[in-house]
Structure 1
Amino acid sequence: MNDADLEEIRKARLAQLQQQQGTGISGSDAEQQKQQEAEARQTILAQILTPEAADRLGRIRLVKESRATDVENRLIMLGRSGQLRAKVTEEQLKELLGAVAENNKDTEAGGNIVISRRKGGWDDDDLDDL
């Protein structure tokens, strides 16, 4: 490696560190990057959804944006991993919505913890005897 290569590596690493700290991206650059990511998501979704499914997802977004985002993320993940053989229909989207709703129900409840206490066991009055 020569000095020019080392200098390039240093500059790239410095830019990476600045970006991680947030000092390397100005407000307009960050906004532009978010816009590009949103456009890329819409392009991917247009490729993997039928028009009816895309319409339903749009209506879901109006009602509950977080659920629509969860479904979009799952669809994009499935599309990138090659698990989708054809465009997702409205019926398949309904099934996916049910799965996401069930998954959210489990995580929102925090996994129900049931505490059952035995009768005749230890209580606060037992501390007085010590």
Structure 2
Amino acid sequence: MADAELEAIRKARLEQLKAQGGGAAGGSQGGQSQAEQQRQQEAEARQSILNQILHPEAADRLGRIRLVKESRAAEIEARLVALARSGQLRQKVTEAQLKDLLSAVAETHEQEKIKVERRKAWDDEDDDLLDL
């Protein structure tokens, strides 16, 4: 269902770009503009899919996560879109399900801890005096 809608959005956007550009893109500026339009189109498609699969509470929570940590929100969105495209989502994602997904992502991102061990000097004469 989401694949067909996404494909329809892509086709409509491609036709719109053809009508606007008419094949007259010149130089690197045209390439940059086209790349920017492609990114904008992908963002719109992603947002459309997210609007379809998220309950309002879950969408609100994801928005708050985006304010705190952009990379985490992007990763969650990518997972949700992948689940939707593969047909694994049977219903809209609730806030509780989003929390479960967040905790699963947090477990996979255990941060490495750096352990610092300080060594004593090789031969410190002051240590010899303390042993007496």
Give the TM interval when normalised to the shorter protein. 0.5 to 0.7
Greater relative contact order (Cα < 8 A, sep 6+): 2
Residue 109 in structure 1 maps to residue 112 in structure 2: yes
- The corresponding residue for 1:100 is 105
State the Cα deviation string for residues 57-89 of structure 1 (Å, max 9, x = none).
Answer: 000000000000110011011111111110000
Aligned AA for 1:75?
L
- The corresponding residue for 1:31 is 36
Aligned positions of 1:1-130 closer than 5 A:
26-105=31-110, 108-109=111-112
- Structure 1 unaligned blocks of 5 or more: 1-22, 113-130
- Structure 2 unaligned blocks of 5 or more: 1-27, 115-132
Question: Distance between the aligned counterparts of 1:101 and 1:73, measured in 2?
Answer: 15
Determine helix, strand or coil for the equivalent of 1:26: helix
State the Cα deviation string for residues 22-44 of structure 1 (Å, max 9, x = none).
Answer: x8x71100000000000000000
Stretches of 4+ aligned residues off by more than 6 angstroms = none
**1:104 Cα deviation from its structure 2 partner:** 1.5
Aligned AA for 1:59?
R
Aligned AA for 1:60?
I
**1:109 Cα deviation from its structure 2 partner:** 2.7
Determine helix, strand or coil for the equivalent of 2:97: helix
TM-score by length of 2: 0.61
TM-score by length of 1: 0.62
In percent, how many aligned pairs have the same letter?
Answer: 69
